[in-house]
C-alpha cells in the first residue's frame, strides 16, 4: 500500500489519528475537550481535535462519520464528508449532530470521526457550445424508476 508522509501538530493529549487495522481506509480522530460535551437530540456542536496538518498540493482529507457511533448512538457528522484542503492550516474540528432521541455525551479522547486522505484533481473549464449525447441524456433524480 502506498504511504505519504504528512506533517502534523498534535496539541491534544490523545494519540495522533491512526488506522485501526492494516486495511483501514480511514484514521480514527479523537475529541480534544477540556469538558465533556452534551449533545441533545438534533443538537449539533463543533468538536475540536487539537490536530493541525500540512497537506501537499493535490491532496485533501475527508472527515467522515464513524459507523459505530452512527448505529449505536445516532451520532454522525454534518457536512459529510467534510473537506480539509491542502492550504488549510487551522485546527481540524468536526461538526457532530445527535440524530437519536437520547442525550449523548462526548468525552475527551472519544473517537468521533474518521479521516480519509484523498488525491484530488482540479478542473479546468473548457467553454463549448455542444457536449456529447448519451443514452441517459438529461435523466436525473429517480429517472430509472424502482426495480
Instruction: Give yes or no for residue 54 having a pLDDT over 70.
Output: yes
Total tally of structural domains belonging to the chain:
1
pLDDT at 146: 66
pLDDT at 140: 80
User: Is residue 76 packed enough to be buried (19+ CB in 10 Å), middle (13-18) or exposed (0-12)?
Assistant: buried
Give the C-alpha separation, 31 to 65, whole Å: 13
pLDDT at 147: 60
pTM score: 0.88
Cβ atoms < 10 Å from Cβ of 122: 6
Range of the domain at 70: 28-119
Is 108 contained in some domain? yes
Average pLDDT of the chain is 94
Is 138 contained in some domain? no
pLDDT tens profile 122-147:
999 999 999 999 988 888 877 777 66
Is 39 contained in some domain? yes
Q: How confident is the model at residue 55 (pLDDT cuts 50, 70, 90)?
A: very high
pLDDT tens profile 60-114:
999 999 999 999 999 999 988 999 999 999 999 999 999 999 999 999 999 999 9
Q: Looking at residue 108, which CATH number applies to its domain? A: 2.70.40.10
Is 44 contained in some domain? yes
Amino acid at each position: 500500500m502506498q504511504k505519504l508522509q504528512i506533517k502534523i501538530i498534535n496539541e491534544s493529549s490523545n494519540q495522533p489519528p491512526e488506522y485501526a487495522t492494516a486495511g483501514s481506509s480511514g484514521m480514527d480522530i479523537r475529541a480534544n475537550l477540556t469538558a465533556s460535551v452534551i449533545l441533545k437530540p438534533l443538537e449539533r456542536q463543533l468538536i475540536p481535535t487539537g490536530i493541525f496538518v500540512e497537506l501537499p498540493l493535490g491532496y485533501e482529507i475527508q472527515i467522515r462519520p464513524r459507523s459505530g457511533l452512527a448505529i449505536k448512538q445516532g451520532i454522525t457528522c454534518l457536512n459529510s464528508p467534510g473537506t480539509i484542503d491542502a492550504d488549510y492550516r487551522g485546527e481540524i474540528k468536526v461538526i457532530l449532530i445527535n440524530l437519536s432521541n437520547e442525550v449523548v455525551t462526548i468525552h475527551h479522547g472519544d473517537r468521533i470521526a474518521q479521516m480519509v486522505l484523498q488525491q484530488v484533481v482540479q478542473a479546468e473549464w473548457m467553454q463549448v457550445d455542444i457536449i456529447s449525447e448519451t443514452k441517459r441524456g438529461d435523466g436525473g433524480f429517480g429517472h430509472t424508476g424502482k426495480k
